[in-house]
Structures are given as C-alpha cells and as structure tokens.
Amino acid sequence: MTIAQAVQVVAEALAEAGIAEARREAEVLVAAALRVERAYLIAHAEQTLATEQLQRVRGWARRRAAREPLPYITHRVWFYGLELCVGRGALIPRPETELLVERFLSWARQQTFKETPILIDAGTGTGAIAIACLTRAPQWLGVGIDRSHAALRIAAHNRRQLGLEPRLLLMQGDWLRGIRPHSAHAILANPPYVLPDEWDSLAPEIRHYEPRGALLVPAEDPLQPYRTIALAALQVLCPPGLLAVETSPRLAPTLAEALQRWGYPNPHLEQDYSGHLRVVWATIP
Ligand SMILES: C[S@@+](CC[C@H](N)C(=O)[O-])C[C@H]1O[C@@H](n2cnc3c(N)ncnc32)[C@H](O)[C@@H]1O
C-alpha cells in the first residue's frame, strides 16, 4: 500500500466513525506512524509502506476510530508553538489555555523584580503552561505542582525535552499546600471545571479517555479548587503578584465576584478566541 492509499483508507475509516476532520487527522496519523512531517506525505505519495509501518497505521487507525484522542495515540501535541509529549495520565493541553500564557507574558513584561521571579503552575498536567511561560520569559523560574504522579512523569519528560530542567521544579502536591509565604510572583492554574451535568455532552474522546480527576468538579461546590488556590495565593504571592486562572464561561462571572470577596480587589475577565469568557485574573494589593 502507498502513502496516498494509506491516507485515503484511514480517512474513510475515520469519517465512518463520525470524526469531523477525517482527512486532516488521517494525514497527521499516517505522518506520525511513519515518523515524518505531514509535508513528506505529499512529496512521497507513491512510496510503499513497510510491513511494520502498515501495521502501525492500521492499529492507530482502529484506536482513533474507537474515538481515542489523536494526541494519546501519537503522543504528540502542539501548545504555544511547542511540541509536547502527552499520554493517558495527563489532560491534553487545549488551545484556549494559551490565553493564560498570553496573560502571564503581557503582565510579566510590565514588571521589574529585584530578585529572580518565580511562577507556579498549579495543576500542571503535561507542564504545558509552565513550560510555555518559561520558554518565553527567560528570566523566570517555575514550579509545576500536580497531585497526579502519572501527569508529573509526562511533565518531567517535556521539561527534559525542552531543556528546562535547571529552571522548572516539578512536585507532587495538593494545589499550593505547604508552599512558603511570599515565595512566588505569579500563580497560574487551569483546575478542573466541568460540572457533572455537563459530562454527558462532552465528546467521547474526553469522557472515555481523559482523566476525570483533571476535569470534574463537585456540583455542590464547583468553585472549590479556585477558592483553595486563591486563598492560598494571597499568602504565597509577593505583591503585586498575579493570579490567573482558566475557567468555563458558566463559572467565570461567579468566580470573578468570588475573587473580590476572597480579597482580590479588581478581577478581570477575558474571552477566548471563540468569544467565551475563559480567563479570570487579578493582582494582589
Ligand atoms: C484541567 S487539568 C490542567 C492540566 C494542565 N495545566 C493544562 O492546562 O493542560 C487539571 C490538573 O489539575 C490536577 N489536579 C486536580 N486536583 C488537584 C489538586 N488537588 N492538587 C494538585 N493538582 C490537582 C489534575 O491532576 C490535572 O493535571
């Protein structure tokens, strides 16, 4: 079978499984299975696949048709222009989370620090937020915290791949518990924010494959992770420290009000590229 034929067969299988961008995904899948870039497929459309390559393409296509997310199959995902590794133990970084990175960078550019500034990525997952921030803010050091060992192993792999071992500390922990007062200058977090009544409307890729503990919040107290992080951040941040969190359009207005009650005088709301309220941020007085 040639590369062109393999792409066609996979695209048909994925379309039949109800996958919207079947052709694009087929190209990404075949390219990753052959360990080449997508452009290679066009230039070498008539190349015949080796037996081992064909087996890998078939196996991966079956998994994708069963709605396993492509990044869990290829172990590759792009975030803020960086290629990261991802696996079943960690949430797949989303494009909208890049907004948190943007918020941090534009705030950080306006600050001057006497000492080396430190950011904390609470609930770091693959390490995406901390890694993207540190690659663009070379004077900063970072700490990535997660309660999941599986996620931290993936974050450690990404840290090594991007040469950030000297600048990013990864630790297992419960949000900011035990972090020294006045030890950080920015705290960023994308905590779980899916409500149980939203679960059934999520794509099967999310419901069946991504870690529930990275997604779901209790219906009776959906702001619980934000409250824990925000109250601890009041102690952990050095003024005028930044707290920036990702949330859902449904929770964003309530969260902004709650931040005022918890001691942040002027919370800001930001929309994502689709026009949904997505980021809430504030600085401490
Ligand atoms: C929505 S995911 C975000 C992952 C990553 N920051 C991103 O944006 O792609 C939430 C992360 O918070 C972690 N988490 C959940 N509860 C936690 C807790 N109590 N303490 C630390 N991390 C927690 C999960 O393991 C998961 O990695």
Domain boundaries of the chain, sorted by first residue: 3-66, 76-283
**Angle, CA 210 vertex, CA 208 and CA 212 arms, to 5°:** 90
Structure tokens at 7: 């792409």
Distance CA 131, CA 32 (A): 23
Nearest CA, atom 15, ligand 1: 214
Residue 47 carries which side chain, given as an amino acid letter?
Q
| Spatial contact of 123 and 191, defined as CB atoms under 8 Å apart | yes
* C-beta of 49 in contact with ligand 1 (< 6 A): no
| Percent of the chain predicted with pLDDT > 70 | 100
- How much is the pLDDT for 248? 96
* C-beta of 71 in contact with ligand 1 (< 6 A): no
Give 18-50 pLDDT, tens digit per residue.
999 999 999 999 999 999 999 999 999 999 999
Q: Which ligand 1 atom is nearest residue 215's CA?
A: 1
Distance CA 39, CA 231 (A): 49
CA 283 to chain centre: 23
Give 134-177 pLDDT, tens digit per residue.
999 999 999 999 999 999 999 999 999 999 999 999 999 999 99
Q: Which ligand 1 atom is nearest residue 100's CA?
A: 8
44 exposure class (CB count in 10 Å sphere: 0-12, 13-18, 19+): middle
The mean pLDDT value for 252-276 works out to 96
* C-beta of 148 in contact with ligand 1 (< 6 A): yes
- How much is the pLDDT for 116? 97
Which has the closest alpha carbon to 113: 190, 182, 188? 182
Work out whether strand 184-189 and strand 118-122 pair parallel, antiparallel, or are unpaired. parallel
The mean pLDDT value for 57-78 works out to 97
| Dist. CA 28 → ligand 1 center (Å) | 27
Give 167-226 pLDDT, tens digit per residue.
999 999 999 999 999 999 999 999 999 999 999 999 999 999 999 999 999 999 999 999
Average pLDDT, whole number, for the chain? Answer: 96
Taking 90 as the threshold, does the pLDDT of residue 233 lie above it? yes
- How much is the pLDDT for 285? 80
Domain 76-283 has CATH 3.40.50.150: yes
**Element (DSSP H or E) covering residue 223:** none
| Dist. CA 37 → ligand 1 center (Å) | 31
Taking 90 as the threshold, does the pLDDT of residue 67 lie above it? yes
pTM: 0.96
269 to each of 40, 56, 255, 264, 284, how far by Cα in Å? 43, 45, 10, 13, 16
- How much is the pLDDT for 105? 98
